């Protein structure tokens, strides 16, 4: 029973409480670039979760055989091979999405999230818990990507998954698309807002201030 709860916590912790993107600043690079539409965000989330889970499993299996000094290179080669497989699959079956994702699928190799989890968790734990942890982190990453992707596509084009949800003003409806939502800055604003929202709900994540003003003289009395 306790083993099962431990698994459950490992899986659900990274969703909000230990979210890799909003709390640990891992894997943001790709998180923002591919979120202009929900379809690309979803493809990216699935690709990353698959790579992360498999990489954690493989690395954890051979964790006792990797010499410490060259472990980074070994890990990168394992991750890169998995990414090549995913990239080839995407090019073969989802050519259009693969073009939209451009170099960002290849960049999963250097995604800090993948190396962060294999370095911090898979190196010390047996395969099954490592894969559960990796899967949970992949889900946490996907959650952020899907939220931002949905907001940007909905307000930038009035669409979800390419279907018109809000009727456009050009076509006789009432919605005027906010083209800012499709540009780079909006992704930063949305993610900043998301971080703010999560930390308002969970105040224990708030960072300590770097500088506190001295107490006012009248307050000291």
Partner 1 sequence: MTDAWSFFLFAAFVDNMPLTLFLGLCTFLALSRRTESAIGLGIAMTGVLGVTVPLNHLIYQGLLAPGTWAWAGQPDLDLSYLSLIAFIGVIAATVQLLEMLLDRFFPAIHAAFGVFLPLLTVQCAILAGSLFMVERNYTLGQSTIFGLGSGVGFAVAVVMLSAIRTRLAYADLPAGLRGLGIAFILTGLMSLGFASFAQMAAAP
Binding site for partner 1 (CB under 8 A): 22, 25-33, 72-73, 76-77, 80-81, 83-84, 87-88, 102-103, 106-107, 109-112, 115, 183-189, 191-193, 195-200, 203, 206-207, 209-211, 213
Decide: residue 203, CB within 10 A, 0-12 exposed, 13-18 middle, 19+ buried.
exposed
CA distance 107 to 169: 38
Least Å distance between CB 215 and partner 1? 14
Query: Judging by DSSP bridges, how do beta strands 159-160 and 163-164 pair with one another?
Result: antiparallel
Please say which residue, 5 or 69, places its beta carbon nearer to partner 1: 69
Least Å distance between CB 218 and partner 1? 18
Please say which residue, 168 or 182, places its beta carbon nearer to partner 1: 182
Please say which residue, 172 or 214, places its beta carbon nearer to partner 1: 214
Least Å distance between CB 221 and partner 1? 22
Structural element, H or E, at residue 185: helix 184-201
Q: Is 90:97 a contact under the CB 8 Å cutoff?
A: yes
Q: Is 63:155 a contact under the CB 8 Å cutoff?
A: no
CA distance 63 to 9: 23
Please say which residue, 128 or 183, places its beta carbon nearer to partner 1: 183
Residue of 81, 134, 103 lying closest to 29 (CA atoms): 103
Angle at CA 202, nearest 5°, toward 185 and 9? 105
Least Å distance between CB 163 and partner 1? 26
Least Å distance between CB 173 and partner 1? 28
127-146 burial, b at 16+ Cβ within 10 Å, e below that, comes to: bebbbbbbbbbbbbbbbbbb
Least Å distance between CB 61 and partner 1? 20
Please say which residue, 27 or 158, places its beta carbon nearer to partner 1: 27
Please say which residue, 26 or 39, places its beta carbon nearer to partner 1: 26
């Amino acid at each position: 029973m306790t083993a099962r709860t431990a698994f459950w916590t490992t899986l659900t912790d990274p969703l909000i409480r230990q979210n890799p993107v909003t709390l640990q600043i891992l894997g943001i690079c790709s998180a923002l670039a591919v979120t202009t539409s929900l379809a690309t965000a979803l493809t990216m989330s699935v690709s990353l979760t698959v790579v992360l889970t498999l990489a954690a499993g493989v690395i954890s299996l051979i964790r006792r055989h990797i010499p410490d000094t060259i472990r980074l290179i070994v890990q990168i080669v394992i991750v890169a091979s998995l990414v090549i497989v995913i990239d080839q699959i995407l090019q073969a079956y989802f050519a259009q999405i693969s073009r939209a994702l451009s170099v960002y699928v290849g960049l999963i190799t250097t995604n800090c999230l993948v190396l962060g989890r294999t370095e911090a968790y898979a190196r010390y734990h047996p395969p099954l818990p490592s894969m559960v942890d990796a899967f949970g982190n992949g889900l946490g990453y996907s959650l952020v990507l899907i939220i931002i992707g949905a907001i940007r596509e909905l307000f930038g084009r009035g669409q979800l998954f390419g279907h018109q949800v809000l009727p456009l003003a050009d076509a006789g409806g009432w919605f005027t698309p906010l083209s800012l939502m499709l540009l780079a800055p909006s992704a930063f604003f949305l993610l900043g807002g998301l971080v703010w929202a999560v930390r308002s709900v969970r105040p224990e994540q708030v960072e300590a201030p770097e500088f506190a003003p001295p107490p006012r003289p009248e307050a000291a009395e």
